[in-house]
Amino acid sequence: MYSMPTENRKSILRVVCSGRMLVALLMGFACGLPLLLTITVLQAWMKEQGVDLAVIGMMSLVGVPYTLKFLWAPFLDRFTLPFLGRRRGWLLVAQLSLIGAIVGLGSTNPREDPWTVAFVAFLVTFFSASQDIVVDAYRREDLPDEELGLGSSLYINGYRVGMLLASGGGLILSDHMPFSMVYFIMAACMLPGVITTLLAPEPKILDDPPKTLREAVFYPMIEYFSRRGALWILAFILFYKIGDTMASTMTTPFYLDIGFSKTEIGAVVKLFGFWATIAGSLAGGIIMIRMGIHRSLWIFGGLQAASTACFAILARIGHSVPLLSGVIAFENLSSGMGTAAYAAFMASITNKKFTATQYALLTSLMGVPRVLASAPTGFLAKRIGWEMFFIFCTLIAVPGMLLLLKFASWKRDPTDP
């Protein structure tokens, strides 16, 4: 049986316990916490206040900054504030503005003035998206390539914990205190992110930042498309997780359709699945230290497709809590691994001179399949049935895997330790 050398184990442990990884985790938490304050928590508050459902539905438009953040990312690449450095200066401004906006949102009245609520919620998402831009750039510039996998996985885990605190914690608190107080508490929970920004070191970049705004806007695109295989990489970003995304869109109706109760779904899928995803992300990050990002994309992509196929088995067998638990464990572990490798890969291909702009563009592109490919899933499941639907989702993952042949050879991985 293979045993990892003691020195390698110590090396991995040093990386896992390093200050850089703690910063990635805490910054992930700070980025994940605001997301659901303008979705789940705000919807619950407006519903409690008797706001019309049509208005509640329209409130989802305040999330537009998350998909358009590449529009002002060049500004953050071009200009450096006179304090804390190129990244931490903007990060501190975004975080303090975000705290102010969250407090402001808690001070509004959804029943009497929903337009003010919409405007302040928009400010929350704008400053939150701005924080995302700078944190993504910071992580790319702070971590060496061989540590991007683990750093991305810890960032993602911190992000999920932040989301859980905001949605689960926020809704639980709202049963015991006014929603305004919930928002004030959530604003205070952003303070660890501010402290992290003040104490973390500024990344050292050898390349000079863009000298003009025009250079910051156009040069990232010119630099990227001058690379060999640039279009193949974009196609890969679009298709790598498309099967996993399509399948996950319809899982809740699927569980209900084959006889699982809402309690079973909540206990197994949401709670157990959350921790399985956390474990998968962490395991994926550690594996990437040993195997590199490219090989990990091959392995994790294969596991993602296999886990999607397991839903077809569940559709064939029907209601079985033990089988559901096994499928959820496998799917969330593999999805956590795949997401960590996916994020690490996108970070690794950005040019550190234009990190904020290129990463914002790539993450915006990553969201396209979530919207477009998810739209017809209900129609497809209705026409061909659940079993064939999940088999289709498994097969559609294959092209994304094959695109790796164009730029991510198994034998040659530039992120090898």
Residues 172 and 230 occupy one common structural domain: no
pLDDT for 3 equals 46
Residues 256 and 379 occupy one common structural domain: yes
DSSP element (H, E) containing 328: helix 321-348
Residues 250 and 369 occupy one common structural domain: yes
365 within domain boundaries: yes
Residue 417, pLDDT > 50, answer no
DSSP element (H, E) containing 141: helix 114-142
4 within domain boundaries: no
Residues 255 and 355 occupy one common structural domain: yes
pLDDT tens digits along 387-405: 998 999 899 888 888 888 8
240 within domain boundaries: yes
Q: Are 307 and 327 in contact (CB under 8 A)?
A: yes
Task: Work out how many domains the chain is built from and give that number.
Answer: 2
Residues 307 and 337 occupy one common structural domain: yes
Cβ neighbours of residue 119 under 8 Å, at least 6 residues apart? none
153, 177, 205 - which closes a domain: 205
2 within domain boundaries: no
Distance CA 229, CA 198 (A): 39
pLDDT tens digits along 148-200: 878 888 888 888 889 888 877 888 888 888 889 999 999 999 999 999 999 99
* pTM recorded for the entire structure: 0.78
> Phi, psi (5° rounding) for residue 177?
-155, 165
What is the mean predicted confidence (pLDDT) over 229-249?
82
Residues 76 and 220 occupy one common structural domain: no
Confidence of residue 77 (pLDDT cuts 50, 70, 90): confident
Residues 269 and 307 occupy one common structural domain: yes
CATH number of the domain encompassing residue 237: 1.20.1250.20
Q: Residue 62's domain spans which residues?
A: 12-205
Closest to 377 (Cα-Cα) out of 243, 283, 268, 267: 243
Residues 84 and 40 occupy one common structural domain: yes
230 within domain boundaries: yes
pLDDT for 41 equals 83
7 within domain boundaries: no
Q: At what angle do helices 6-16 and 273-291 cross, to 10 degrees?
A: 120
205, 237, 266 - which closes a domain: 205
Higher confidence at residue 6 or residue 314?
A: 314
21 within domain boundaries: yes
pLDDT tens digits along 81-135: 888 888 899 999 999 999 999 999 999 888 888 889 889 999 999 999 999 999 9
Residues 274 and 373 occupy one common structural domain: yes
pLDDT for 374 equals 66
Residues 49 and 164 occupy one common structural domain: yes
Distance CA 21, CA 281 (A): 13
153, 181, 205 - which closes a domain: 205
Residues 357 and 231 occupy one common structural domain: yes
5 within domain boundaries: no
pLDDT for 88 equals 92
